[in-house]
Amino acid sequence: MGFFDFLGLQSKQVEQGQSAEKEQGGTGITGLQQPILPGEIMNNNLQDFVEKGIGMINAPAKELPSGDNANPNREVVDEVMAFINQGRDYFNKGKYALALAEYNSALSLTPEVAFLYFERAQVQLGLNESAKALQDISKSINLDPEPFEPYLLRGSLNSLLGNMQEAIADFSIVLKKQPQNSTALAERANVYLLSGQWSQAAKDASALIKLDKNKSIAWRIRALAYQNEGAYEQALLDWVEFEKLNGKSQEVYVNRGNIYFVEGNLEKAIIEWTEAIELDDSQAFLYYNRGLANSSLEQIDAAIADFQQVALLAPQEYQAYNSLGYLYYLKKEYAQALESLNQALELKTEDFSVYFNYGITNLSLRDYTAAEQAFTQAINLNPEYVPAYYNRGLVYLQSGAYYAAVKDFSKVIETNPELAACYQQRGMAYFQLERYQLALEDWQTYVQQVPGDAESYYRIALTCLQLENYDEAVVYLTQTIAADPRHTTAYYQRGNVYSLLKNYQKAAADYTHAIEGGISLDISYFNRGVAYLNLEKIKEAKTDFQKVLAISKNKTLLKEAKEVLNLLKRQ
């Protein structure tokens, strides 16, 4: 009978702008978390902010204020400037703790000078004190809201800290002050990208490209924005421009491969990911993605080689072994499949898909006890996973637990009434339980969804026979023969029905087809002999009964054939 696997080996949905990732609810082939994310565009550590040159080199003020409203003591001013200059010197040498002490001293003498807070904020960044840096930048802005540099730095820091709306607000202030500030455009575009605001990211990137077509980061941001919006052709064009400016890079190949994968162009996806692997063959996720594509193309050996490489590079990644188990199952190499799945279970016992793959493998091996246990565990871990119910139903059907089979198939039908195979299998369970009317209804539903299935027409005909609905039996046996003229058993059964209906001419013709097909030869000859007798074709009847005597080993049949022949002799 075999089993049915709903998902089989389908392509996984790849998140736009990313690599093929784990898909919840998948069967067998699911994904590794990939290391290249669309948001990794700007610098992502505090030290990088210090090295950007936003702070000490381009401070919004160069001198301390003096006069009646500041500090009339020139000696104090000179002392503060000495602290500042020494602090800047320490900063430039990377001696941030010493620099901080100098700025603290300066601010103790002049606590209302905005640019000192701005510069000290950058020192705090060098010390990885992001919260203190944020406080200092905000203090600088409160004291003097005019310079754009503090907003720019605070926006970058807010972006780093995940304060996306605050970052957008800061960069927007910079752009209001300086509409063509390329750094603010790039930073805001990146924040929009990280926030999933694709159209805004693309708009800022386009403005940046208009300012300078050689800004590779703008092409990159826009490519990723288009990719996430599903504008794949535009994204591909932007990746070309990015590649022209930056040269070959793994990121370009990865994302182009992702686009082709989503579009269903698996051959091109494989080419791109192969190029990425040639640049860096240490990335497990690339082999994983290529394995998915090869699997979808039914290039099973190539897929196995890819997932084996994943297992070498990431030996703790259980999905590599899970995927290998599923692929070996497809190749009917069940021992290797179980070995791989056992390795997966050693690493992860909470993933229902591993148990599901374990179940279908054992079902193929006819180890129904192990299969039932595996499917039950898959259901316990994911009660909504319909394929596990279906396949467990098949286990019950094969092992004779028909009531349990009906329960599982009914569960599937509740949520998937369009799944024709379930009606077919539940009908078989009902038939074995002698609930013929229910079996008939299920099989009729099946052939409505899958017309032309000769075997299902035949099963319906047998059910009609059990219900003594002979006219309907003839209809479905005739449909069986129309769907498959070589279905000689259907001729035999229709001959029997015609005999019951006393239509001996048609019965004899059908038995002839059955005899030609080698179906139940002794009984077919006997029944045709009976039909010939009723048609008063005595010579033909004798020949058939004599054939029964020649070929049959059925004592009852031999006895009845002899009695008929003896009776014919007396006449």
Amino acid 309: pLDDT: 97
User: Residue 62 class from Cβ within 10 Å (0-12 exposed, 13-18 middle, 19+ buried)?
Assistant: exposed
Q: Which of 20, 525, 79 is nearest to 323 (CA)?
A: 20
Amino acid 570: pLDDT: 81
pLDDT 10s digits, 445-471 = 999 999 999 999 999 999 999 999 999
Joined tokens for residue 90 = 């320490």
The CATH superfamily of 36-195 is: Tetratricopeptide repeat domain (1.25.40.10)
Amino acid 64: pLDDT: 54
Amino acid 40: pLDDT: 27
Other residues' Cβ atoms within 10 Å of the Cβ of residue 209: 18
Whether 29 and 22 have beta carbons less than 8 Å apart is answered as no
Distance CA 291, CA 303 (A): 4
pTM, 2 dp: 0.74
What ranges make up the beta strands (E) of 513-565? none
3 state SS of 233? helix
Place of tokens 């008939």: 440
pLDDT 10s digits, 6-60 = 222 222 222 333 333 333 333 333 333 232 222 222 233 333 333 333 334 344 4
Amino acid 74: pLDDT: 84
Taking each helix axis as running N to C, give the angle between helix 454-466 and helix 436-449, from 0 to 180 degrees, rounded to the nearest 10.
Answer: 160
The CA distances from residue 197 to 193, 203, 222, 224, in Å, are: 6, 10, 12, 11
Amino acid 173: pLDDT: 97
Domain-wise residue ranges, the chain: 36-195
Residue 529: partners with Cβ closer than 8 Å, 6 or more residues away = 540, 541, 542, 543, 544, 545, 548, 561, 564
Q: How many CA atoms lie within 13 A of 148 on its CB side?
A: 14
List, in sequence order, the alpha helices (H) in 400-520.
Answer: 402-415, 420-432, 436-449, 454-466, 470-483, 488-500, 504-516
**pLDDT by 10s per residue, the chain, length 571:** 222 222 222 222 223 333 333 333 333 333 332 322 222 222 333 333 333 333 343 444 445 554 444 444 788 899 999 999 999 999 999 999 999 999 999 999 999 999 999 999 999 999 999 999 999 999 999 999 999 999 999 999 999 999 999 999 999 999 999 999 999 999 999 999 999 999 999 999 999 999 999 999 999 999 999 999 999 999 999 999 999 999 999 999 999 999 999 999 999 999 999 999 999 999 999 999 999 999 999 999 999 999 999 999 999 999 999 999 999 999 999 999 999 999 999 999 999 999 999 999 999 999 999 999 999 999 999 999 999 999 999 999 999 999 999 999 999 999 999 999 999 999 999 999 999 999 999 999 999 999 999 999 999 999 999 999 999 999 999 999 999 999 999 999 999 999 999 999 999 999 999 999 998 889 999 999 999 999 999 999 999 999 999 999 999 999 999 999 999 888 7
Joined tokens for residue 433 = 């339980």
User: Residue 92 class from Cβ within 10 Å (0-12 exposed, 13-18 middle, 19+ buried)?
Assistant: exposed
- The DSSP 8-state label assigned to residue 110 in this structure reads -
Place of tokens 């993933």: 351
Query: φ and ψ at 57, to 5 degrees?
Result: -75, -35
